Amino acid sequence: MSTSQPGYFSAYENFALERSPSGVLTVRFHTDGDPVVFTGTTHHDFPRLIEEIAYDRDNTVVVLTGTGDRFMTEIDGPSLGDLTKPMSADVTYVEGRRGVQRLVDLEIPIVAAVNGPVSVHSEYVLLADVIVASDTTVFSDFPHLAFGIAPGDGLFVVWEEVLGLNRARQLEITNGSFTAQQALEWGAIAEVVPLDDVLPRAQAIAEQITALPQLTSRYMAVLFRQRISRRLAEGSSLGMALEALTAANLAYLQPAEAM
């Protein structure tokens, strides 16, 4: 394993990266060292970061986590561009589809350390092979219904896969939420631990995985994600197109509502 730090470790402003001697790469979302605010920059950088991680053979397991007492709960909607404009929506489509698809197709085991509430892009952590959540974690989808748009960016596919169709659509259409304990009971996550133990526990599991031959761990991850990878490939293209259509509809409705 190379002892030098790759350039991409410090290239993305919303991601702090640290790698253990055995190749466990911890990827932490943040904004200036505080809990992350998801922005257009985060959206732009995420698929590119995942691609660089994939090509770095010194990475053996990835741990995804957030900063402080929450994984991700804030979003800067305007920074993501105007979804009512086709060319702007196309940028969001390209980055959004590639981000979640590259994550699910990453040929490296993923362990999620969910350090508290996640109401923005919960599909990122729910795609992980092993999910450890704090007892303070609540999963929800704040942005889509708050903005008045359909959740077509892959979240609906992931929720269906990990929660079951009826439970997922009931929660999504009513803007519901579920706790880490409920997720554990439903089989959607692996463990619930106190907040301070989340990252150490996730990293310990990741280190345990590194005891396997690297190709074995890599392709076990690929095998177990085949179904959800296919579903995302099929569903996110249509889903994001319909999400953009609902955004365009908002622009159409606004003048009438202002009368």
Which are the catalytic amino acids? 123
Residue type at 136? T
203 and 26 Cβ atoms separated by less than 8 Å: yes
- Radius of gyration for the alpha carbons in the chain, expressed in angstroms and rounded: 18
- Residue bearing tokens 């410090």: 10
Q: Collapsing DSSP states into helix, strand and coil, what is residue 1?
A: coil
β-pairing verdict for 15-19 and 24-29: antiparallel
Which residue in 55, 161, 65, 159 sits closest to 110, CA to CA? Answer: 65
Which residue in 25, 30, 112 sits closest to 65, CA to CA? Answer: 112
- 167 by Cβ neighbours in 10 Å (0-12 / 13-18 / 19+) ranks as middle
- Residue bearing tokens 């085991």: 109
Residue type at 97? R
- 110 by Cβ neighbours in 10 Å (0-12 / 13-18 / 19+) ranks as buried
Phi, psi angles (nearest 5°) of residue 190: -95, -40
Which helix (DSSP H) or strand (DSSP E) does residue 205 occupy? helix 198-209
